[in-house]
Amino acid sequence: MGNTMFHAGYAQRLLGLALLLSASGAWASDLPATIERVKPSVVGIGTYQETRQPRMQLRGTGFIVADGRHLITNHHVLPDRLNEERREFLAAFVPKGGAQAEARPARVVARDEARDLALLRIDGQPLPALRLGDSSAVREGQDIAFTGFPIGAALGLFPATHRGTVAAVAPVVMPARSGRELTPGLIRRMRDPYTIFQLDGTAYPGNSGSPLFDPASGRVLGVINMVFVKEGRESALERPSGISYAIPSDFARDLLRAHNLRP
């Protein structure tokens, strides 16, 4: 009987290991195909001025949603002001292969400063849109990926994809060690706390606004945010910590629904 129980337990462990390896392999094989579907929906966000060199100034990343003429990005990616006298305008940069990109004028439709999100509308023909997933169902240990333009000001509009897992679902408010660390943004979040996703994938400046998505389905689960890294006294360029943050996609869904747009 002892031998029978030993063999049964051993068989169960082998079965569990096989299922784990199978799931891991499926995830790995799904990701390249998912990236190909996601990339056409990922755009650069910045400003454009015809008389300036360089004409395009990249500030972050955004992704197309809803009807193909709207996009989600971080609020902090938007410029404080535009030089309208020199015809500078807010733009979405659509990669066209190589170093080429199309600059499409964009306007702000809605802002959620507390959660650092913005909804923009772009001119021109609709682009492929990403669909939002249910971020309330995200669990710690879940596989994720995100695509954007890390350090895009230096490396250009070549979408890069990073993968990782959800390390924690945690409060957005980090404890301050002294009153000098209480920034206006931190105080605003203390008044209206919410949870964010802590990731073990490394995001860089330029990744702000990148879509965080499920590697198998491509559904957007969150929006990468670099401000939380900077406010946490991390230097993402000089000393990458391997820790990044994302705002749950349900907050982006709220912006879309408030303007009668399909998420």
Burial of 81 from C-beta contacts in 10 A (0-12 / 13-18 / 19+): exposed
Residue 120 is assigned to a structural domain of this protein: no
Whether the model pTM is above 0.85: no
Q: Would you say residue 77 lies in a domain?
A: no
Look at residue 84 in the predicted model and tell me its pLDDT.
Answer: 87
At 192, is the pLDDT very low, low, confident or very high (cuts 50, 70, 90)?
low
Local confidence band at 171 (pLDDT 50, 70, 90 cut-offs) = confident
Range of the domain at 230: 135-258
Query: What's the pLDDT at 228?
Result: 66
Q: pLDDT at residue 69 above 80? A: yes
Q: Is the pLDDT of residue 119 over 80?
A: yes
Cα torsion for 75, 138, 40, 48, to the nearest 10°? Answer: 10
Q: Indicate the pLDDT class of residue 14, thresholds 50, 70 and 90.
A: very low
Residue 40 in contact with residue 96, Cβ under 8 Å?
no
DSSP letter for each residue of 52-96: SSSSEEEEEEEEEETTTTEEEEEGGGS-S---GGGT-EEEEEEE-
Cα 87 from Cα 38, distance rounded (Å): 32
E-only strand ranges, the chain? 42-48, 56-65, 70-74, 89-95, 101-112, 117-122, 143-148, 160-171, 195-199, 211-213, 220-225, 244-248
> Rounded to whole angstroms, how far apart are CA atoms 128 and 66?
9
Residue 2 has pLDDT above 60, yes or no: no
Residue 251 placed within a domain: yes
User: CA dihedral defined by 122, 123, 128, 129, rounded to 10 degrees?
Assistant: 30
- The answer on pLDDT for 19 being more than 50 is no
Residues forming beta bridges with residue 132, ordered by sequence position = 220
Higher per-residue confidence, 108 vs 242: 108
pLDDT at 188: 59
In this predicted structure, the answer to whether residue 110 has a pLDDT above a threshold of 80 is yes
Instruction: Give the DSSP H or E segment for 17.
Output: helix 2-38
Task: Check residue 153 and give its pLDDT.
Answer: 64
- Is residue 250 a contact partner of residue 243, using CB atoms and an 8 Å limit? no
Cβ partners under 8 Å of residue 204, min gap 6: 150, 151, 226, 236, 237, 240
Mean model confidence pLDDT for the chain: 82
196: CATH: 2.40.10.10
> Is 106 within a domain?
no
Q: What is the tally of structural domains in the chain?
A: 1
Residues 6+ away with beta carbon under 8 Å from 78? 45, 59, 90, 108, 118
Q: Is the residue at 179 inside a domain?
A: yes
Highest-pLDDT range among 148-162, 174-188, 228-242: 148-162
Q: Is the pLDDT of residue 194 over 50?
A: yes
Q: Where are the alpha helices (DSSP H) in 101-258?
A: 152-155, 184-191, 227-231, 249-258
**Average pLDDT in the 37-62 region?**
94
What's the half-sphere exposure (Cβ side, CA atoms, 13 Å) at 117?
23
Residue 1: is its pLDDT beyond 60?
no
Tell me if 6 is assigned to some domain: no
